Structure 1
Amino acid sequence: MHLTLDQVSAFVRLPLRSLRHEYPNHIMHVLNDAQDAQTPRALHPVFYGCYDWHSAVHGYWLLARCARLYPALPQQDEIAQMFDDHFTAANMQQELAYFQTPGRVSFERPYGWAWIMALAQELETWQHPKAKAWLAMMEPLVAEIRSRVFGYFAKLGYAIRVGTHYNSAFALKLILDFARHRNDAELDSAIVTASCRYFMGDSNYSAHYEPGGDEFLSAALTEALLMADVLEADVFVDWFAQYLPKLADIDRLMNPAEVSDHSDPKIAHLNGLNLSRAWCMKRIARRLPENDPAAATLTAAARRHIEAGLPHVVSGEYAGEHWLATFAMLAMETVN
């Protein structure tokens, strides 16, 4: 299953609209005094759209990634203009200042942190003539978040295994990708150490209870995806066999979630779950030997999940359209 240029163009239209769409807006905001009662755009001059801060961050990620992978995309100029309009030194300084204000140590931790690093990685990879300048504007924010990662995972005694924004494995995976892209050995080591501390001893994982009613990540599969990158290939194969030993029998994990209301902002998370599961399944399957039955099981399940989730990305429902295209892109990607 491959994306057509028309599908990618439809995906891109969503953040091109939503990133300038300030309302409705769900803010996670600590007010220290009356002066902090401001509009989303006043608080976040870059990441004010797409309903919430983290969705705005990965909305920009989607634009950069699609522009990089699909040079014939008709919205190339619109994408560049979006970055030009928002990725300025003054705007990024205000985003950084928000993080450095007292009382906001946990703001967007760890999901938004991870997507900031993924966005930086994407801008560094994109060969657009202005991409390096846009990246330079956000480097102080990247450095701030990088510094926070060390302290957070050092003191987080137990992994957070929910299928929502607080999931530890998802953030660790994106941050590890960033660390390895930059050859950041210190960050790489910290992420590998934390991942092994949390997950190396897991076996017979109880995935039969997935999904929760508002989850967009699979705790089981996101952890396995992370460990596929953390462990050497042969070690991962053994670990995975112990972790999910009867994979094909876990019906609620191998079959798509049913979504009762695509307009409900929480229940619609399950559309994202179907897409993020497919992303995990495809990548985990690539890490297993071709003759491993689990590889075929995951590949077939990924197709079912894509077929269930993809039709709801462009739906007219803002509850999904402000974020789902990011996970559709992950699910459909062919790059390693």
Structure 2
Amino acid sequence: MQLTLSQVESFVGLPLRSLRHEYPNHIMHTLNGPQDVQSPRELHPVFYGCYDWHSAVHGFWLLARCSRLYPELSTQDDITQLFDEHFTDANMQIETEYFKAPNRGAFERPYGWGWLLALAQELDLWHHPKAKAWLATMKPLVDDIRQRVLNFFPLLSYAIRVGTHYNSAFSLKLILDFARHSNDSELESAVVSAANRYFLADRDYPAHYEPGGDEFISGALTEALLMASVIKGNDFADWFAHYLPELAKIDRLMTPAEVSDRSDPKIAHLDGLNLSRAWCMRHIALRLAQDTKTAEVLTRAAQRHIAASLPHVASGEYAGDHWLATFAMLALDTPDRI
């Protein structure tokens, strides 16, 4: 499960094309008046490509991460040019003002919020000579999203456990990583509080009902991944043992999802499910290293999931090509900590 430079080159090629690819485009757009009838690029001059706003955000995340971790990439100049084109103060101001318009409080909540903060974290880690300038253009939007997180989760009485964009645990994991990287104790405390409130008492999670037909996130495993970052020490192993007892026997969770039609944008989500499951499994196994039996079950299942969907990341179908490389990177990137 080691990434090769050839694979990374393939991953990078997808957002390099798609981030300038305005159509087809699926916009979740609230019109406050006739003036809001605009093209995707007019509405979102930074994040207009890759079919939808959040996919554009994590497309940039993928480029920054790959460029940082693989300086030998042949496309370094192309990546720089793309960031230079999009990450300007004027463009980012339009993106920020979009969030502040009336009736848009739920725009990209919480999935796009999580990825936006993950992108900011990645830019801060990147030793590119322009990365700090690109990050500076994002600061007003990052500050706005951070405050939205602080305002929203105390109001969300119940976790959202679906395997799509509205899942609470997935975004909380991305936000927690950003908070800890930024030494933002207020944000970290808010995320940990929400995670414990939603998930700490969970037992016997009904994972045998997964997957749903259009899911790209495992509700069961994403929650466990988040709690592996929240629960300290050996207490996580105890929590996990009660949360998913007899893990190896949960066939529908341990078996890769079958994808019947990769041209269908919803059904194609299942390739993302396989890859995001593998991401969760590999990282959870790190926290359960002393429980060698469970760690081995998770690691082997991760290998099966990667084998099932990695060959289809660049299938030629835009339904998957515009976003799956990000999830392949999550699945294959070397897990060092959670």
TM-score (norm 2): 0.99
Corresponding position of 1:245: 245
Corresponding position of 2:55: 55
Aligned residue pairs total 336
Cα offset, 1:292, TM superposition: 3.4
Q: Aligned letter for 2:154?
A: A
Q: CA offsets per residue over residues 150-170 of structure 1, 9 Å max, x none?
A: 111000000000000000000
Q: CA offsets per residue over residues 196-252 of structure 1, 9 Å max, x none?
A: 000000001000000000000000000000000001021111000000011000000
Cα offset, 1:290, TM superposition: 3.4
1:231-242 pair list within 5 angstroms: 231-242=231-242
Q: Answer yes or no: is the 8 Å Cα contact 2:99–2:105 preserved in 1.
A: yes
2:159 is aligned with 1:159: yes
Cα offset, 1:293, TM superposition: 1.5
Corresponding position of 1:192: 192
Corresponding position of 1:177: 177
SS of residue matched to 2:215:
coil
Corresponding position of 1:102: 102
Q: Aligned letter for 1:228?
A: A
Within 2, Cα distance between the matches of 1:15 and 1:101? 28
Within 2, Cα distance between the matches of 1:335 and 1:208? 26
SS of residue matched to 1:293:
helix
Within 2, Cα distance between the matches of 1:246 and 1:288? 15
Cα offset, 1:294, TM superposition: 1.1
Q: CA offsets per residue over residues 139-195 of structure 1, 9 Å max, x none?
A: 100000000001110000000000000000000000000000011000000000000
Corresponding position of 1:36: 36
SS of residue matched to 2:32:
coil
Within 1, Cα distance between the matches of 2:132 and 2:215? 35
Within 2, Cα distance between the matches of 1:272 and 1:299? 18
Cα offset, 1:63, TM superposition: 0.2
Within 1, Cα distance between the matches of 2:130 and 2:304? 39
2:256 is aligned with 1:256: yes
Within 2, Cα distance between the matches of 1:321 and 1:290? 38
Q: Aligned letter for 2:214?
A: D
Within 2, Cα distance between the matches of 1:289 and 1:232? 14
Corresponding position of 2:125: 125
Q: Aligned pair in 2 of structure 1 residues 335, 80: CA closer, same or farther (>3 Å)?
A: farther
Q: Answer yes or no: is the 8 Å Cα contact 2:282–2:335 preserved in 1.
A: no
Q: Aligned pair in 2 of structure 1 residues 291, 234: CA closer, same or farther (>3 Å)?
A: closer
SS of residue matched to 1:159:
coil
Within 1, Cα distance between the matches of 2:261 and 2:40? 27
Query: Any stretches of 5+ residues in structure 1 without a counterpart?
Result: none
Corresponding position of 1:93: 93
Within 1, Cα distance between the matches of 2:272 and 2:304? 14
Could you say what the CA RMSD is over the residues aligned between the two structures, in angstroms?
Answer: 0.6
2:142 is aligned with 1:142: yes
TM-score (norm 1): 0.99
Q: Answer yes or no: is the 8 Å Cα contact 2:283–2:335 preserved in 1.
A: no
SS of residue matched to 2:154:
helix
Q: Aligned letter for 1:134?
A: W
Cα offset, 1:308, TM superposition: 0.4
- Bigger shift: residues 231-240 or 155-164: 231-240
SS of residue matched to 1:213:
coil
Q: Aligned letter for 2:301?
A: A
Q: Aligned letter for 2:10?
A: A
Cα offset, 1:4, TM superposition: 1.0
Corresponding position of 2:17: 17
Query: Any stretches of 5+ residues in structure 2 without a counterpart?
Result: none
Q: Percent of counterpart pairs with the same letter?
A: 72
Corresponding position of 2:286: 286
Within 1, Cα distance between the matches of 2:115 and 2:206? 28
Cα offset, 1:3, TM superposition: 1.3
Q: Answer yes or no: is the 8 Å Cα contact 2:208–2:252 preserved in 1.
A: yes
Q: Aligned letter for 2:277?
A: R
Q: Answer yes or no: is the 8 Å Cα contact 2:216–2:272 preserved in 1.
A: yes
Runs of 4+ in 1 over 6 A off after TM superposition: none
Within 2, Cα distance between the matches of 1:328 and 1:174? 16
Corresponding position of 2:321: 321
Within 2, Cα distance between the matches of 1:6 and 1:249? 36
Cα offset, 1:304, TM superposition: 0.1
